[in-house]
């Protein structure tokens, strides 16, 4: 084995020995924001690539400490660069960047103020938006609803970008990680951008399944009972690899 060498000039801790291989410096705050912004932009672009939004509709945010990074209003996601980082505090005051934040900022901030979410994805997904015009909650068409906390509610319609819409959304999100917005779209939150996006995609998929099954003439979709859904939800709590 090669001898471990070190140079005291490189040891900023002042210790007279080699640095522990497992030792890590705390991430630089600016680096954390930059990395979070890169992931946010990638997620926003994915919503377009996967057909969950068209043009500049929909928006994405991620919380880093007390700063919320958000997509800017009216800017195509493919044009966003590292220099376009936009951030606000939890009161909505802009603290980063010069581009105006998304018009749906009230919804994003309402989620962060009332939950432990670290990321939010809002889309105008076709099937989910269609379902939002038909029912008050998505019927129990599949046990995947358990990953969102249960039956997905529809928040009553309110003008986009308003506090009223944010209030309606919060009521629909009680004990849930996603909901439909009537005649509007979807919103989902999670501990990470990946989780928030996955929940968004799962919701759109369930809405598509229900609409497809409901469109067959002369037949009515079989739905899960609340007991069946609850049992599946219990099983889902053990899904995946242990952390």
Strands 154-155 and 119-123, sheet pairing: unpaired
Q: Is-catalytic flag, 104? A: yes
Q: How far apart are CA 128 and CA 123, in angstroms?
A: 9
Residue 210 has a CB neighbour count (10 Å cut-off) of 22
Residue 46 has a CB neighbour count (10 Å cut-off) of 18
- Residue 178 contacts by C-beta under 8 Å, 6 or more apart in sequence? 148, 149, 152, 186, 187, 188, 189, 199, 200, 203
Question: Hunting for tokens 């399944």 — which residue is that?
Answer: 209
Which listed residue (3, 23, 35, 104) is catalytic?
A: 104
Which residues are catalytic, by number?
Answer: 104
């Amino acid at each position: 084995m090669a001898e471990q060498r070190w140079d005291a000039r490189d040891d900023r801790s002042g210790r007279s020995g080699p640095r522990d291989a497992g030792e890590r410096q705390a991430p630089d705050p600016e680096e954390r924001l930059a990395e979070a912004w890169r992931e946010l932009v990638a997620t926003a672009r994915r919503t377009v690539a996967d057909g969950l939004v068209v043009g500049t509709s929909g928006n994405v945010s991620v919380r880093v400490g007390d700063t919320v990074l958000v997509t800017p209003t009216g800017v195509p996601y493919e044009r966003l660069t590292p220099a376009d980082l936009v951030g606000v505090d939890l009161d909505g005051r802009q603290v980063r960047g010069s581009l105006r934040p998304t018009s749906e900022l009230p919804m994003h901030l309402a989620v962060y103020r009332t939950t432990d979410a670290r990321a939010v994805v809002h889309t105008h997904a076709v099937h989910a938006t269609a379902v939002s015009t038909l029912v008050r909650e998505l019927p129990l068409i599949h046990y995947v609803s358990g990953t969102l906390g249960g039956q997905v509610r529809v928040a009553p319609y309110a003008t986009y970008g308003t506090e009223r819409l944010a209030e309606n959304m919060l009521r629909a999100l009680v004990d849930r990680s996603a909901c439909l917005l009537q005649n509007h779209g979807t919103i989902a939150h999670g501990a990470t951008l990946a989780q928030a996006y996955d929940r968004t995609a799962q919701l759109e998929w369930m809405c598509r399944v229900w609409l497809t099954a409901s469109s067959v003439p002369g037949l009515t979709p079989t739905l899960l009972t609340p007991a069946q859904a609850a049992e599946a939800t219990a099983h889902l709590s053990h899904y995946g690899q242990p952390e």
